[in-house]
Amino acid sequence: MKTVKLVSIAALMSCSFAFFTGSAMAADAVSDVKIATLREAPLNVEPTPPAMQKVSNTDIKQSRNYPMQPPVIPHKIDGYQVDLKVNKCMACHDRKQTTDSQAPMVSVTHYMDRENNFLATLSPRRYFCTQCHVPQLEAKLLVENDFVDMDHLIEADSNKKAKH
Q: What is the mean pLDDT of residues 53-57?
A: 90
Residue 45 region, left (φ>0) first, then alpha (ψ -120 to 50), else beta? beta
Q: What is the pLDDT of residue 81?
A: 95
89 C-beta neighbours (distance < 10 Å), count = 21
pLDDT band at 161 (very low <50, low <70, confident <90, very high): confident
- Alpha-carbon gap, residue 39 to 35, rounded angstroms: 10
What does the DSSP assignment read for 65-95?
SSTTPPPPB-S--TT--BSSS-BTTHHHHST
pLDDT digits (tens, 9 = 90+) for 63-113: 888 888 999 999 999 999 999 999 999 999 998 999 999 999 999 999 999
The sign of the torsion formed by the CA atoms of 38, 42, 44, 50 equals negative
Q: What is the pLDDT of residue 4?
A: 64
CB contact at 8 A, 71 and 61 = yes
pLDDT digits (tens, 9 = 90+) for 9-42: 666 666 655 555 555 555 555 556 666 777 778 8
Distances (CA, A) of 160 to 152, 156, 163, 164: 12, 6, 5, 7
pLDDT band at 129 (very low <50, low <70, confident <90, very high): very high
Q: What is the pLDDT of residue 111?
A: 94
